[in-house]
Structure 1
Amino acid sequence: MKPKSQPMRTCVGCGEPKAKRELIRVALSPDGNISIDRTGKAPGRGAYLCESMSCFEQAYKAKRLERSLKHGVSKEIYEALQRDLQENE
């Protein structure tokens, strides 16, 4: 029997492909709200980010979350994501 494959996603900060479970998902819901989705199951477009401050800083400086979500990301979302990463390090 073939082993079950693990879904892979690419970090918008560093560009490294990693297992979906190892990344943080930032989701843009169909009604336009952006949220941090730890479950990976929220509906809508998603962008994935490693759980490291260096990847967060790269994504923030180059506005890669906005590009990936095709929507503007408010400063509050970036601050919440930064707090979340600092708590988990």
Structure 2
Amino acid sequence: MVQRKIPMRKDIVSGEMIPKKQLVRVVKNKEGEVSIDPTGKKSGRGAYISLEVQTAEKAKKDRTFDKAFGLKVQDEFYDELIAYVDHQVERAKLFGNDK
């Protein structure tokens, strides 16, 4: 059996290279709107964050996406991100890591 290459991406908060499946993509589109990209295929400038609640909370505290995208990101987005990451963590516990 051939060993497949695992795509790696850098976590914007920790700076670590992590397999892409263990990250969530956040994207800024041409209009300057920042959103979560669960598919990883939306067009725009993307940044990755690991699927850990502590990492998402640290991103909110440090305003990581404000710096990465060069604009003021609303607190509601960070709250939505924390809730999304928490949901994905709980889902992985229930169903395993297969997406």
Q: Normalising by structure 2, report the TM-score.
A: 0.77
Q: Specify the alignment match of 2:74 in structure 1.
A: 74
User: Please, what is the CA RMSD of the aligned residues?
Assistant: 1.7
Does the residue aligned with 2:9 lie in a helix, a strand or coil? Answer: strand
Measured after TM superposition, the shift of residue 76 of structure 1 is 1.4
Who wins on radius of gyration, i.e. which is larger?
A: 2
Measured after TM superposition, the shift of residue 45 of structure 1 is 0.7
Q: Normalising by structure 1, report the TM-score.
A: 0.84
**Cα-to-partner distance string for 1:49-88 (whole Å, 9 max, x where unaligned):** 0000111122122111111122221111111111112222
Q: Specify the alignment match of 1:6 in structure 2.
A: 6
| Rounded Cα–Cα distance in structure 1 between residues aligned with 2:71 and 2:19 | 25
8 Å Cα contact 1:27-1:47 kept in structure 2: yes
- How many residues in Structure 1 have an aligned counterpart in Structure 2? 88
Higher relative contact order (CA 8 A, sep 6+): 1
In structure 2, list runs of 5 or more residues that go unmatched: 90-99
Measured after TM superposition, the shift of residue 7 of structure 1 is 2.9
**Cα-to-partner distance string for 1:14-43 (whole Å, 9 max, x where unaligned):** 221112222101100111111100111111
| Rounded Cα–Cα distance in structure 2 between residues aligned with 1:79 and 1:20 | 22
Distance 1:3 1:86, change over 3 A: closer
In structure 1, list runs of 5 or more residues that go unmatched: none
Given residue 64 of structure 1, which amino acid in structure 2 is its aligned partner? T
2:38 pairs with 1:46: no
8 Å Cα contact 2:60-2:75 kept in structure 1: no
- Calculate percent identity across the aligned residue pairs: 32
